[in-house]
Amino acid sequence: MWKRTRAEAKHASSECKRILKRRGYLVPESATKELQMYMQGVETALKGSEHDKLREALVGLDERMTKHLSFARKSAIREYAESIGVAVGIAIFLRAFVVEAFQIPSGSMIPTLQVGDHIFVAKFSYGVTVPFTDKKLVDFGLPERGDVVVFKYPGDPSIDYIKRVVGLPGDTVEVRMDQIFINGKAMPRENVPGGCGAEEEGRVFSSCELWSETLGTKVHDTMFYGEGDSFGPRKVPEGTVFVMGDNRDNSNDSRVWGQVPLGFIKGRALIVWWSRGPVKQDGLQGWFDAIRWKRLFTRIH
């Protein structure tokens, strides 16, 4: 009770000072002196430890503020509305310019990203865009080869996709028996022994192959469980990038529907902040067991 009364007293005193400072010219001098006297009473009571005296001083100040400053005092509803409005405004600003949350809906990026991962995407990685448009206010440069990016799907811009950047504007991309070649040069990769151990919607790929691949400065794992595919060569037009999923034999990407315009890229994937796999039993315990604790707050490579 004492802490709550102290908080209310401090708030009332601060509000009275603020109103007098900003709109004191509208208050008669006699009323200003009366308010200052009661504010002093609250300040004195705050230095003591007697709850009754502090409550009495607070009630007195509140009554005088209602009498003399009611034209400028904020109602509780207005204060809550303003607080909520500020919070919503900050959230909209952060989502538009800084960071956005994204949930992984499919297994096309296994093993890097699992179905059920929730990630943060840096909206400012390649520039600042006008919200709800593709127009850039500030350009920070192109994506780097190997970046994991979220973008608007060229076939339906209302849908967001996530893939890895493989080819940059002007590159010639080719795949020979699952190995990527950029401008005729093979991208380094090494087989990772032990199988995949990746999971998609409860199905474990135990018979697939896992390869560690290097694209530019990025080293990441890729997964294959087919006979070995080939593609291209295909030149990447200016103003676009060529993207592929890390689950190479189960990814709908630039090999199917073409390149991604640079203006469609929303940002670079940063971290996995939450991850939960399929719930295998009913109840709270089943939901709790499905959380992938080791994936929480892991950086996306």
Identify whether 108 is a catalytic site residue.
Answer: yes
* Residue 170, amino acid: G
* String of DSSP letters for 163-204: EEEEE-TT-EEEEETTEEEETTEEPPEEEETT---EEETTEE
Confidence band for 202, pLDDT divided at 50, 70 and 90: very low
CA 180 – CA 98 distance, rounded (Å): 33
**Which two tokens mark 21?**
């400072």
pLDDT tens by residue, 162-187: 999 999 999 999 999 999 999 999 99
**Which two tokens mark 48?**
């003591």
pLDDT tens by residue, 36-95: 999 999 999 998 888 888 889 889 988 888 888 887 665 545 555 666 766 666 666 556
User: What residues contact 124, with CB distance under 8 A and at least 6 apart?
Assistant: 97, 98, 140, 267
Q: Would you say residue 297 has pLDDT above 70? A: yes
Q: Would you say residue 136 has pLDDT above 70? A: no
Asked if residue 13 lies in contact with residue 38, where contact means CB atoms within 8 angstroms, the answer is no
Residue of 152, 163, 266, 275 marked active site: 163
Question: pTM (2 decimals)?
Answer: 0.68
Chain mean pLDDT for the chain: 85
Residue of 108, 251, 254, 275 marked active site: 108
Between strands 218-224 and 127-129, the pairing is unpaired
Which residues sit opposite 120 in a β-bridge? 101, 271
Q: Would you say residue 214 has pLDDT above 90? A: yes
User: What residues contact 122, with CB distance under 8 A and at least 6 apart?
Assistant: 98, 99, 267, 268, 269, 270
pLDDT at position 201 is 46
Q: Which of 228, 224, 262 is nearest to 242 (CA)?
A: 262
Sole residue written with tokens 């380094």: 188
DSSP letter for 264, please. G
* String of DSSP letters for 110-138: TTTS-TTEEEEEETTSSEEE-TTSS-EEE
Q: State the average pLDDT over residues 22-35.
A: 88
DSSP alpha helix (H) spans, the chain? 2-23, 29-47, 51-68, 76-93, 254-257, 284-289
> What are the CA-CA distances from residue 120 to residues 91, 104, 220, 256, 274 (Å)?
14, 11, 19, 27, 10
